[in-house]
């Protein structure tokens, strides 16, 4: 039987197949586009939640609070020697944790202060001791670094 189809003309079933393939391709492309858009949108909040602020002002403020609490406690005559030793350990640990939150010079100087602390803060308060001189020097260096970072604080 001779074909009534002219050259370049497609039969109806083949056209439906081609049209179906085009629709499938477009749907696939749309699904991939939506998936990629969802992935890039989901990644955006992660970058927004990453802290980008300078941690030094907070670290400097926390250090000033810890230092002032130590000074107040050292003048408290009702504290027992055991309480003072516990306070010394807490102070050392607290300043070390604060240093870990800081950056740059502030962190370096807080680390130096912790490294140079005597085994007992009681040694700091024996009048004009070498330990007290070193402590005061380190405190001044921390203050200078904090001020350079834009965080000024006062100490008792």
Contact residues for 104 (Cβ-Cβ < 8 A; gap 6+): 56, 145, 149
Q: Which runs of consecutive H residues, i.e. helices, occur in 1-156?
A: 12-49, 56-74, 81-101, 104-116, 130-148
| Residues 85-108 pLDDT 10s | 788 889 899 999 999 999 999 999
More confident residue, 144 or 132: 144
pLDDT of residue 84: 77
| Banded pLDDT at 139 (limits 50, 70, 90) | very high
Share of the chain above pLDDT 90, in %: 31
- Taken in order 27, 32, 36, 42, the sign of the CA dihedral is positive
pTM of the model: 0.62
Q: Is the pLDDT of residue 30 over 60?
A: no
d(CA 108, CA 141): 10
pLDDT of residue 78: 85
Which residue in the block uniquely carries the two structure tokens 């055991």?
82
Q: What angle do CA 115, 116, 118 make, to 5 degrees?
A: 110
Contact residues for 18 (Cβ-Cβ < 8 A; gap 6+): 10
């Amino acid at each position: 039987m001779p074909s009534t189809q002219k050259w370049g003309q497609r039969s109806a079933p083949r056209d439906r197949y081609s049209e179906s393939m085009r629709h499938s391709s477009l749907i696939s492309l749309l699904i991939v586009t939506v998936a990629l858009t969802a992935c890039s949108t989901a990644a955006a909040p992660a970058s927004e939640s990453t802290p980008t602020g300078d941690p030094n002002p907070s670290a400097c403020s926390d250090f000033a609070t810890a230092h002032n609490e130590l000074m107040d406690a050292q003048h408290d005559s009702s504290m027992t020697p055991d309480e003072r030793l516990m306070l010394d350990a807490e102070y050392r640990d607290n300043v070390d944790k604060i240093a870990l939150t800081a950056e740059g010079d502030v962190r370096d100087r807080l680390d130096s202060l912790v490294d140079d602390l005597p085994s007992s803060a009681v040694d700091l308060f024996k009048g004009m001791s070498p330990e007290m001189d070193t402590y005061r020097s380190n405190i001044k260096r921390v203050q200078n670094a904090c001020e350079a970072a834009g965080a000024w604080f006062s100490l008792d």
